Structure 1
Amino acid sequence: MLNAKVGKVGKVLVCGMKGVGKTTVIEQLVYGNLNPDTELHPTIEDIYVASCDTGRGGARETLRIYDTAGLQGEQAAQLPRHYLQFPDAFVLVYDPIDPRSLDMLADIKSDIDKHKEKKEIPVIVLANVRARAKRDTPPTTPNPVEKIMDRANIWCQRERIKHYTVNAMERPSLYEPFTSLCARVHPAQTKSTFPQLRQVMQNRQKSEA
Structure 2
Amino acid sequence: MFRKPREEKHMKDPWRSREHCVDCGVLGNWRGILEGGLLCAVVGQRNVMGRTSRVVVVGGKETGKTSILERAIFANSTVDKQYIPTVEDTYVGIVETERGTREKLRFYDTAGLDARNHCLPQHYHALADGYIIVYSISDNLSFQLLTDIKKDIDRHREKKDVPIIVLGNKSDLAATHRAVDTATAERWATAEKLRFWEVNVQDRTLLMAPIMNLASRLNPQPSKTSFPQLTMGRKNKD
User: Any conservation in 2 of the 1:84–1:115 contact (CA below 8 Å)?
Assistant: yes
Corresponding residue of 2:109: 67
Match of 2:163 among 114, 122, 126: 122
Deviations 1:75-126 (A, max 9, x none): 01x2111112211110000011111101111101001111112221111110
Corresponding residue of 1:14: 57
The structure richer in helix per residue is 1
Shift of the 182–35 alpha-carbon distance from structure 1 to 2, 3 Å rule, reads same
Shift of the 178–169 alpha-carbon distance from structure 1 to 2, 3 Å rule, reads same
How does 1:28-39 map onto structure 2 within 5 Å? 28-34=71-77, 36-39=79-82
Corresponding residue of 1:45: 88
Corresponding residue of 1:141: none
TM-align CA RMSD? 2.4
Aligned letter for 2:170?
A: V
User: Any conservation in 2 of the 1:97–1:131 contact (CA below 8 Å)?
Assistant: no
- Name the CA distance, whole Å, in 1 between partners of 2:146 and 2:182: 13
Using the TM superposition, name which of 87-96 and 188-197 deviates more.
Answer: 188-197
Gaps of 5+ in 2: 1-25, 28-38
Shift of 1:48: 0.6
TM-score by length of 1: 0.82
Corresponding residue of 1:111: 152
User: Any conservation in 2 of the 1:95–1:131 contact (CA below 8 Å)?
Assistant: no
Shift of 1:32: 0.6
Aligned letter for 1:129?
A: K
User: Any conservation in 2 of the 1:51–1:63 contact (CA below 8 Å)?
Assistant: yes
Gaps of 5+ in 1: 138-143, 204-209
- Name the CA distance, whole Å, in 2 between partners of 1:177 and 1:96: 17
- Name the CA distance, whole Å, in 1 between partners of 2:71 and 2:170: 14
Aligned letter for 2:113?
A: L
- Name the CA distance, whole Å, in 1 between partners of 2:150 and 2:115: 17
Corresponding residue of 1:187: 220
User: Any conservation in 2 of the 1:10–1:88 contact (CA below 8 Å)?
Assistant: yes
Match of 1:170 among 187, 190, 203: 203
- Name the CA distance, whole Å, in 1 between partners of 2:109 and 2:213: 19
Corresponding residue of 2:189: 156
Shift of 1:187: 0.3
Instruction: Report SS of the residue matched to 1:73.
Output: coil
Shift of the 130–42 alpha-carbon distance from structure 1 to 2, 3 Å rule, reads farther
- Name the CA distance, whole Å, in 1 between partners of 2:197 and 2:229: 43
Match of 1:84 among 100, 125, 128: 125
Shift of 1:69: 0.6
User: Any conservation in 2 of the 1:130–1:169 contact (CA below 8 Å)?
Assistant: no
Higher relative contact order (CA 8 A, sep 6+): 1
Q: How many residues align?
A: 191
